[in-house]
Structure 1
């Protein structure tokens, strides 16, 4: 990332959130509320993992690092559930995006 995409610690949380919001807002909606919810939540959860990984990389507060670890575990579990639902409903996702 260039200087514009990084803060002094090397991770730009606001930039991460903007990228995540851009992905969600550009997502093609299907008209099926359940599928659209699952696809949006998948993107949202991936963003949470990215932010938690940034915390683990540069964060110092033990309680925030522990929270980041818990977030990663929980979000990965929910992403697996979302992937299963999406595949069952004809919208398989690229497993490489995990």
Structure 2
């Protein structure tokens, strides 16, 4: 892959994005606090927050096989990057940011296809079904 530096950065970001499981009361309080914090967000902030929430929800369950776990985790991570780039294109004004957002979309969509193809050859679904523990960890 030509995008090895981006892939390595994505791995590090993926690891940093993992949220430890918390008890239901703490998770519920945290979700309420987050909802209150986003109430005053503008359209761009709401778009980024929605992309972030969707990405994390899709990354909830980690497969035992390290290779499968990587692919299953990176696909929603890349989808999140694409969605964030689309928010930047919709709301951003800086030509450099917009150009980079377009590059991100092209690169991430190509890598998503590559990862999906790898999973397909293994007979594995891109998204592993979430368990009750995954939902609890996400405040559901």
Q: C-alpha separation between the residues in 1 aligned to 2:66 and 2:40?
A: 36
Structure 2 CA distance for partners of 1:72 and 1:81, relative to 1, 3 Å: same
Larger-gyration structure (1/2): 2
Which of 8, 16, 20 pairs up with 2:51? Answer: 16
Indicate the structure whose relative CO is greater, using CA pairs within 8 Å and at least 6 residues apart.
2
Q: Would you say how many aligned residue pairs link Structure 1 and Structure 2?
A: 89
Q: C-alpha separation between the residues in 1 aligned to 2:96 and 2:78?
A: 20
- For the aligned residue pairs, the C-alpha RMSD in angstroms reads 2.1
Which of 96, 103, 107 pairs up with 1:70? Answer: 103
- Structure 1 segments of 4 or more deviating over 3 A? none
In structure 1, stretches of 5+ residues that fail to align are none
Q: C-alpha separation between the residues in 2 aligned to 1:30 and 1:6?
A: 37
In structure 2, stretches of 5+ residues that fail to align are 1-37, 128-140
Map 1:34-73 onto structure 2 (within 5 A). 34-73=67-106
